[in-house]
Structure 1
Amino acid sequence: MTTTALAPAGMPERVRHVVGEHVTRLQRGYLADESHAVAALARLRRGAGKEPHQVPDLLGLIDTGLLYGPLPSGWAPREEDLTQAEDAVHVALTLWALHQQSKSTGMHQPDSRERPLGLGAGVRRLMPAGDIDETVLKRLVRAGTAPHLAGLAQRLRDIVVLLRREDIALDYALLADQLYRWQQPGGRDAVRRLWGRSFHSYQPRQNSQPGAEGTGAVSASTDFDDTVKDAS
């Protein structure tokens, strides 16, 4: 795949663009049972929850050239920025590959106001309407309070396993953007707020089962933001 010559303006947007393009292409090929895509997912899946240096087999599998062009200011990205961007791409793509395994529908779907598919909304969809599953919620809280990206990747892996079991899709381009921002100064608090907002944005029908679509009132018995503060 050839990346476009014109890079998106900022590094978070570049990360989001790279993941969105590769996931969309590989997902289409995987669902069509194309051998190259099936093989690529098998390689990516082995990296889920691991740091890039632990899976050298992935070297060269994904074209990340879009990350390295000059920024709008004319300056080249810093080494730290590039490392954080590469790590965010790695975590998002490997988690998606784990999520997509053996599924006949795409587990990457775009987030929208009408159909929230951020991480928080995905966790909320694991719970019945009108009820908060504290065990599931704590998984999201623990992810938000991870001490470093490697720990976050492992905690997200545990959540993805649950989402996969219930056929609940995520927007992995959005997740990649957030993983990059999470590594910036003040980014952890900002991303936790986004996950909390996403958690409350999904409003299931009353009496719906985990994973079901719909709208309706969400129980206010638990406040995600307060729970995160208690765990911090």
Structure 2
Amino acid sequence: MLSPTKASAVGEYVERKISSIQKGILAGNSHARATLSRLRRDINGPSTNWMIIGNDIYSDWPVGSLGNPDDDALAVNAVVTALGLYALHQQSKSYGVAQLRKDDEPSVSFGRACRMIGRNNRANPQDGAVNNGVTRRLGAAEAAPTFEGKVWFFRALIRLMRSDDSRITLNYRDFARDLYLIQQPENASQVFQRWSCDFFYRTPSNKD
């Protein structure tokens, strides 16, 4: 299967999982809260605890679109990371932090979501990104030689989104797709180029 096709399938699976979790969280469902806790604990830990999160990842793995998980570690890494970062982002929030397909607003990529960090900062109301270290973290993520190293910086950026007071949401379907692609040297640069454009470029009608 071609990488773009597999990457899209990874995004679809992650969105389906997150949609179910987020719906449960907003409804006060204890099972959804427990799932969120497991996934969040895993992304915050030093290594993946497969026996704790295995059921959340593999019980309904879409073999038709993603194949056997044993045959594609990149897909597993992308799914586990996207779900863990969502769980971290959603922690203690009363609204859904994942932008789902049904939303009418333009897709919020990881680059665009990072641009939103600090935008309500009174000391720098036009753009808090430079002052709060977002640019540095994005650059460090791009330069990190391993996927695990990149995820370390992604986790720091997600924490900044969670602590921001402007209700930053993120399209986790597209983020999961990108997490799959950045594990491939031939695709990683293109992903960071898109994020860079979304982070820095301002159209005349888009000054957020």
Shift of the alpha carbon at 1:127?
3.8
Deviations 1:123-165 (A, max 9, x none): 1111445446322211111122221111111111100000001
What is the aligned partner in structure 1 of residue 93 from structure 2? 103
Q: Structure 1: 5+ residue runs without aligned partners?
A: 1-8, 205-214, 219-232
* Equivalent of residue 5 in structure 2, options 5, 10, 35: 10
Alignment correspondent of 1:169: 169
> Which sections of structure 2, spanning at least 5 residues, go unmatched?
120-124
Larger C-alpha radius of gyration, 1 or 2?
Answer: 1
> Whose helix fraction is larger, Structure 1's or Structure 2's?
2
Matched, 1:83 2:73: yes
Aligned length in residues: 194
C-alpha offsets along residues 35-86 of structure 1, whole Å, 9 cap, x if unaligned? Answer: 11011001000111557644531011134521x3378xxxx67956x11001
2:108 equivalent in structure 1: 117
Q: Is the 8 A contact 1:121 1:201 kept in 2?
A: no
Kept in 1, the 8 Å contact 2:15–2:100? The answer is no
**Aligned in 2, Cα 1:79/1:190: closer, same or farther, shift over 3 Å?**
farther
- Match of 2:34? 39
Looking at structure 2, the residues matched to 202 and 44 of structure 1 have their Cα atoms a distance apart, in angstroms, of 35
Worse-superposed segment, 122-131 or 82-91? 122-131
More relative contact order, 1 or 2 (CA 8 Å, 6+ apart): 2
Contact 1:49 1:150 in 2 (8 A): no
Deviates more, 1:95-104 or 1:147-156: 147-156
**What value does the CA root-mean-square deviation take over the aligned residues?**
2.8
8 Å CA contact retained: 2:9, 2:65: no
Instruction: Give the TM-score normalised by the residue count of structure 1.
Output: 0.73
Equivalent residue, structure 1, for 2:191? 191
- Corresponding residue number in structure 2 for 1:146: 144
1:175 deviates by 0.6
* Residues 1:29 and 2:24 aligned together: yes
Mapped partners of 2:206, 2:16: distance in 1: 33
Q: What's the counterpart of residue 54 of structure 2?
A: 59
CA contact (8 A) 2:111 2:198 kept: yes
- 1:67-106: CA deviations, max 9, x gaps? x3378xxxx67956x1100100000000000100110100
Percent of residue pairs bearing the same amino acid type: 31
